[in-house]
């Protein structure tokens, strides 16, 4: 592709050197089933918690649903051709559980599996490595009706589903992610209720987090049994958590939020234990009676890779009595036991999600996972930004998104130089899509989607990324 746009803004002298990534670095882009597929009631698919949630008035901005989304189910062939045109080395997608196992129990739905078989074959035919995520938030509704993730049985159901998908696709998919961002499933789904299924109970959120991880461990074992050569991992969303000042009360607020956001998952998954301070913080919420002997050993079943999703940093401060919480963190809270911690905005540039742009935080996050938790290969399985885009003469010149990617790729490279075994990077997202509670109002894509016509337009960031992939790195400016 010609003439890739490059940051920084015109007129600004930039003497940054070109950066080359290690040979074989896996350059990709990511999506998720409910966010792009549409065809919600076709091919034997039945509702997930996100169908129910999005069809409940007041839950999603403007009442948007994933019924049609990007219509990827019907446009898969041309979407893969677009990926090939961009030169993607890998594509991370998720399988819709209720498409391949409607209801969440019982036999596979052949028509549903066939869609993913065709997708994988199409990718392989274009030399694109498929990266399959089993769970990107679309729990079959009947499993929610039976208690959802706070119920222990959901973990076993998830392992059965993993076996069913591995039996069907294991011969052609090498990379497997069990869960995407269990923090969101547990704490936004069952804590604040801003995500499906929209329940708000701190103890349920903690139980959900545990059973998600238990399901992950059982699924890792199921995948290995079905496909011994599979490369298996999990994807967690991590944030550096910084105290607003070095006052002890702010430092303690940061410790608490770091416990809930990061260590709640990293410690059980990679060390086989819950942090003692986190359990103490949660003492008023739960007694952890849902944790059974052997669970943590299952949860910490060895992995082959670890996926990190990175978007931003949290800066927090001690509670101020009577202060209004930030709207995003409003009660009911996604921080059980630490509801009154304040999330502070520093006045640095933000994306259209109001998330602070903090590329150094990616270096910090990757180094922490490597230095404190594991020697396993790491992959950035999501990183990206929402900005308001404008189509002008059939083009979208998304300079802010492009600059975000550029800054974060420089950070990824810095992490590699610091010794992090980072093996790949997936941009979020391949194309604009259904951004959960924000519906179609937030655009994260490198490819613009017109939701009326379903026309795709690669934005400047997509053309630039194609050039990054072609060079295996960033050009001199
Ligand atoms: C992550 C999700 C992904 C997308 C991005 C913006 O939390 O995994 O589906 O919504 O945020």
The predicted model scores a pTM of 0.96
pLDDT of residue 365: 99
Span 323-345, mean pLDDT? 79
- For residue 175, what is the enclosing H or E element? strand 175-180
CATH number of 19-472: 3.20.20.80
Quick check: 13 pLDDT over 60? Answer: no
Residue 181 Cβ < 6 Å to ligand 1: yes
Quick check: 7 pLDDT over 80? Answer: no
Contact 182, 213 (CB under 8 A): yes
Q: 115 to each of 41, 44, 47, 80, how far by Cα in Å?
A: 14, 11, 17, 13
Span 259-270, mean pLDDT? 99
Contact 71, 454 (CB under 8 A): yes
pLDDT of residue 326: 59
Ligand 1 center to residue 477 CA distance, Å? Answer: 30
**217 or 14, higher pLDDT:** 217
Please report which confidence band the pLDDT of residue 322 belongs to, taking 50, 70 and 90 as the band edges: confident
Q: Return the residue whose CA atom lies nearest to atom 5 of ligand 1.
A: 428
Quick check: 147 pLDDT over 90? Answer: yes
Ligand 1 center to residue 264 CA distance, Å? Answer: 19
Quick check: 9 pLDDT over 60? Answer: no
Ligand 1 center to residue 143 CA distance, Å? Answer: 23
Contact 376, 306 (CB under 8 A): yes
Please report which confidence band the pLDDT of residue 476 belongs to, taking 50, 70 and 90 as the band edges: confident
In sequence order, what E strands does 280-410 have? 305-309, 314-317, 342-343, 378-382
Atom of ligand 1 nearest to the CA of 235: 8
pLDDT of residue 5: 39
How crowded is the C-beta side of 389, counted as CA atoms within 13 Å? Answer: 30
Contact 146, 109 (CB under 8 A): no
Atom of ligand 1 nearest to the CA of 180: 8
Mean pLDDT in the chain?
A: 95
Q: Which residues are catalytic?
A: 181, 382
Residue 184 Cβ < 6 Å to ligand 1: yes
Of 251-255, 273-277, 321-325, 378-382, the least confident: 321-325
The pLDDT > 70 percentage for the chain reads 94
Q: 196 to each of 138, 140, 189, 191, 367, how far by Cα in Å?
A: 9, 11, 5, 10, 32
């Amino acid at each position: 592709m010609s003439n890739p746009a490059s940051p920084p803004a015109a007129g600004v002298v930039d003497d940054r050197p070109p950066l080359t990534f290690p040979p074989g670095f896996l350059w990709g882009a990511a999506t998720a089933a409910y966010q792009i597929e549409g065809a919600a009631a076709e091919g034997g698919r039945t509702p997930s918690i996100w169908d129910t949630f999005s069809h409940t008035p007041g839950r999603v901005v403007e009442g948007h649903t994933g019924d049609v989304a990007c219509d990827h189910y019907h446009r898969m062939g041309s979407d893969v051709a677009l990926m090939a045109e961009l030169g993607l080395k890998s594509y991370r997608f998720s399988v819709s559980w209720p498409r391949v196992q409607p209801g969440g129990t019982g036999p596979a739905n052949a028509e549903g599996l066939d869609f993913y078989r065709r997708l994988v074959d199409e990718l392989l035919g274009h030399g694109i490595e498929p990266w399959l995520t089993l769970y990107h938030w679309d729990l079959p509704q009947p499993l929610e009706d039976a208690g959802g993730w706070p119920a222990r049985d959901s973990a076993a159901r998830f392992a059965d589903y993993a076996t069913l998908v591995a039996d069907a696709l294991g011969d052609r998919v090498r990379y497997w992610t069990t869960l995407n961002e269990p923090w969101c499933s547990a704490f936004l789904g069952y804590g604040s209720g801003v995500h499906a299924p929209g329940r708000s109970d701190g103890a349920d959120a903690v139980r959900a987090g545990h059973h998600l991880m238990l399901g992950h461990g059982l699924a890792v074992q199921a995948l290995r049994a079905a496909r011994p050569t599979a490369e298996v991992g999990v994807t967690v969303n991590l944030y550096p958590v910084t105290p607003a000042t070095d006052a002890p009360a702010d430092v303690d607020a940061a410790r608490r939020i770091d416990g809930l956001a990061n260590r709640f998952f990293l410690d059980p998954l990679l060390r086989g234990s819950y942090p003692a301070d986190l359990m103490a913080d949660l003492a008023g919420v739960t007694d952890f009676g849902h944790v059974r002997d052997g669970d943590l050993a299952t949860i910490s079943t060895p992995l082959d890779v670890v996926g990190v999703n990175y978007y931003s940093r949290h800066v927090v401060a001690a509670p101020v009595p009577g202060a209004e919480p930030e709207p995003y963190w409003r009660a009911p809270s996604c921080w059980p036991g630490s509801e009154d911690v304040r999330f502070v905005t520093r006045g640095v540039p933000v994306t259209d999600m109001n998330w602070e742009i903090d590329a150094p935080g990616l270096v910090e996050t990757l180094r922490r996972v490597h230095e404190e938790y594991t020697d396993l290969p790491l992959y950035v399985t999501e990183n990206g930004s929402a900005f308001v885009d404008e189509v002008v003469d059939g083009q979208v010149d998304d300079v802010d998104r492009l600059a975000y990617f550029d800054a974060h790729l420089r950070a990824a490279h810095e992490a590699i130089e610091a010794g992090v075994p980072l093996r790949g990077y997936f941009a979020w997202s391949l194309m604009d899509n259904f951004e959960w509670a924000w519906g179609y109002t937030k655009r994260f894509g490198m490819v613009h989607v017109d939701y009326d016509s379903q026309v795709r337009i690669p934005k400047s960031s997509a053309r630039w990324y194609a050039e990054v992939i072609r060079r295996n790195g960033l050009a001199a400016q």
